[in-house]
């Protein structure tokens, strides 16, 4: 069974304090790994797709990386507006229409 585990569940940082969020996954043949951002009371918003080990994607203060067992979302010099829940999801070839989500990491950036 495909599984996704995110850690930590919650993370509180000071503005400018860099850190990383972890997404560990078990899937029989990874088709893609996705990162989403979710603000309170809103639907998830797409950030990145990673397809193969060693791949990296960047967007402003965020960088996502992928290995064969996990993905990291690195946040460099975060600002309060980066506060959100970050969701990781995997897509297996046989379930191409289905994403399996982790439980999310709730990130708070204090000014």
Partner 1 sequence: NAGVTQTPKFRILKIGQSMTLQCTQDMNHNYMYWYRQDPGMGLKLIYYSVGAGITDKGEVPNGYNVSRSTTEDFPLRLELAAPSQTSVYFCASSYPDGGEAFFGQGTRLTVV
User: Rounded to the nearest 5°, which phi and psi values hold at 93?
Assistant: -60, -40
Position 40 contacts partner 1 (CB under 8 A): no
Q: Which is nearer to partner 1, 72 or 101 (CB)?
A: 101
β-partners of residue 14 are 110
12-20, 28-36, 56-64, 72-80 -> range binding partner 1 (CB under 8 A): 28-36
Structure tokens of 8? 């930590």
Distance CA 66, CA 101 (A): 16
Residue at token pair 């996502």:
64
| Identified binder of partner 1 from the candidate list 30, 64, 78, 104, rule CB under 8 A | 104
Binding to partner 1 (CB under 8 A) within 47-66 occurs at 49
CB 57 within 8 A of CB 63: yes
Residues that bind partner 1 (CB under 8 A): 4, 9, 31-32, 34, 41-46, 49, 87, 89, 91, 96-104
């Amino acid at each position: 069974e495909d599984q996704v585990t995110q850690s930590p569940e919650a993370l509180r940082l000071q503005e400018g304090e860099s850190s990383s969020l972890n997404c560990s996954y078990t899937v029989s043949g990874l088709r893609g790994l996705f990162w989403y951002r979710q603000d309170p009371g809103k639907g998830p918003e797409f950030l990145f797709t990673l397809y193969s080990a060693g791949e990296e994607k960047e967007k402003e203060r965020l960088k996502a990386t992928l290995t064969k067992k996990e993905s990291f979302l690195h946040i460099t010099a975060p600002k309060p507006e980066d506060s959100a829940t970050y969701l990781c999801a995997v897509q297996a070839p046989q379930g191409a229409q289905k994403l399996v989500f982790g439980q999310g990491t709730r990130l708070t950036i204090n000014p």
